[in-house]
Amino acid sequence: MSISFQIDATQNAARLGRLATPHGVVETPVFMPVGTVASVKGVSQDILEELGAQILLGNTYHLYLRPGVEQVRQLGGLHRFMSWPRAILTDSGGFQVFSLNELRKVTEAGVTFRSHLDGSSHFFTPESSMEAQIGLGADVIMAFDECTEHPADRERVQQSMEMTLRWAARSKEYFKAHKREVPWARTAEVCPAGHVGTSVPGQTQGLFGIVQGGMDPALRKESAERTIEIGFAGYAIGGLSVGEPRALTREVVEFTLEHLPSDKPRYLMGVGTPEEIVEYAGLGVDMMDCVLPTRAARHGLLFTSEGRVSIKQKRYAGDQEPLDPKCGCRVCQRYSRAYLRHLYAANEVLAQVLNSIHNLSFYLDTMRAVRHSIALGNKAQFFPTEHSRAR
């Protein structure tokens, strides 16, 4: 008993599905808010529940460094530690090692890197990434991969892809041998908030493989086929959003999706804008995550049904309208643009909190609307073109 996936409806390439995890069912296509260090910056868990977040993403690299995997494991795993009874996905740590560490050293065995917190030296391998992710206890965990830099020549991309395939096999091997060690699989405990379902004796995590291969269609195809041969519960498209133009991202996603099995969840890592997540759902992506809604919120950039709002602008100083008249979130129901603009200008912590709540609400509502549209069979009519225009 691990995770299972079923597709309830399709509309062209888009799929409406249900991913059953040990901590509840996730309706797909889904947007996963990023909770880097067991916290979605500025937004508490009760509000995330209210917004309808079904699954959060945690970063293994950050949690491994602080508070440490053993600490989280002893506290019953991530769900119990952060009082989040719904599903969680952790990444492998690979992407942060590659993006935050200029001094990393990659060998066949693994990656040596320095902590961005205190400069201490650490070593990640496929086995230690699995050990960390099993100890953290997310519902969906990721094989350890090398995120190939862009641009890179074909030989380099191929060598990197080959190593990711060997690391994928090692990840799976370790997972098979140790999957029963996940904290919630053994003992029935109740989380501090009294949520039921935090512990699920007898169940195990779902391990996803990651397709690499740079921007090369032939290498992407080969990477997909050989990752599928190893066999995983789902498949992610990695190695994108690494500085390539957006049109190329879309192209690579489209031709990689062609080679992924239709009966398994497909996860596109690290995208995107509201327009992009709709577009990718339309192409047949089931899961996405991105720091953009919360990061943009902290910089005063808000996504609304009428386009983007830069709340810092003086033009909002006397504006008594809600941020987004079509949004049902607690921020738009209660506060004016003038107040939000004031909080931002005064550098109040509440500005970051309220802005983050609205942006996440907008993303989650967007995906809810996409799911609704697929169910009704009118995906093509969903996203009005004026949505992408900036105000």
Residue with tokens 């990752």: 227
Shortest Cβ distance from residue 293 to Zn ion (Å)?
11
Shortest Cβ distance from residue 288 to Zn ion (Å)?
20
Shortest Cβ distance from residue 359 to Zn ion (Å)?
8
76 backbone dihedrals φ, ψ, rounded to 5°: 100, 5
Q: What is the DSSP letter of 336?
A: B
Site string for Zn ion, 128-157 (x = CB under 5 A): ------------------------------
Decide if residue 337 touches Zn ion (CB under 5 A): no
Q: Which is nearer to Zn ion, 237 or 357 (CB)?
A: 357
Contact indicator for 27, 278 with CB cutoff of 8 Å = no
| Active-site option among 139, 289, 324, 365 | 289
Instruction: Please report, as a single letter, which amino acid is at residue 311.
Output: I
Helix axes 154-178, 126-136, angle to 10 degrees: 50
Decide if residue 358 touches Zn ion (CB under 5 A): yes
Which residues from 311-330 bind Zn ion, rule CB under 5 A? Answer: 327, 329
Q: Which is nearer to Zn ion, 73 or 358 (CB)?
A: 358
Query: CA–CA separation, 340 vs 354, rounded Å?
Result: 8
Q: Which is nearer to Zn ion, 99 or 305 (CB)?
A: 305
Shortest Cβ distance from residue 302 to Zn ion (Å)?
8
Q: Which is nearer to Zn ion, 161 or 332 (CB)?
A: 332
Shortest Cβ distance from residue 379 to Zn ion (Å)?
24
Contact indicator for 290, 270 with CB cutoff of 8 Å = yes
# residues near Zn ion by CB under 5 A: 6
Is 365 one of the annotated active-site residues of the chain? no
Q: Which residue from 105, 112, 124, 223 is spatially nearest to 174, judged by alpha carbons? A: 124
Both structure tokens of 1: 């008993």
Stretch that binds Zn ion, among 49-57, 101-109, 248-256, 350-358 (CB under 5 A): 350-358
Q: Which is nearer to Zn ion, 220 or 358 (CB)?
A: 358
Contact indicator for 95, 58 with CB cutoff of 8 Å = no
Shortest Cβ distance from residue 310 to Zn ion (Å)?
16
Neighbours of 248 (CB within 10 A): 12
Query: CA–CA separation, 174 vs 69, rounded Å?
Result: 17
The SS3 of residue 89 is strand
Q: Which is nearer to Zn ion, 212 or 361 (CB)?
A: 361
Among 332, 360, 364, 374, binds Zn ion (CB under 5 A): 332
Is 289 one of the annotated active-site residues of the chain? yes
Cα torsion 383, 385, 389, 391 to 10°: value is -80
Stretch that binds Zn ion, among 57-65, 102-110, 269-277, 360-368 (CB under 5 A): 360-368
Whether residue 272 has a cis bond before it, omega within 30° of 0: yes
Residues that bind Zn ion in the complex, under the rule CB under 5 A: 327, 329, 331-332, 358, 361
List active site positions: 91, 289
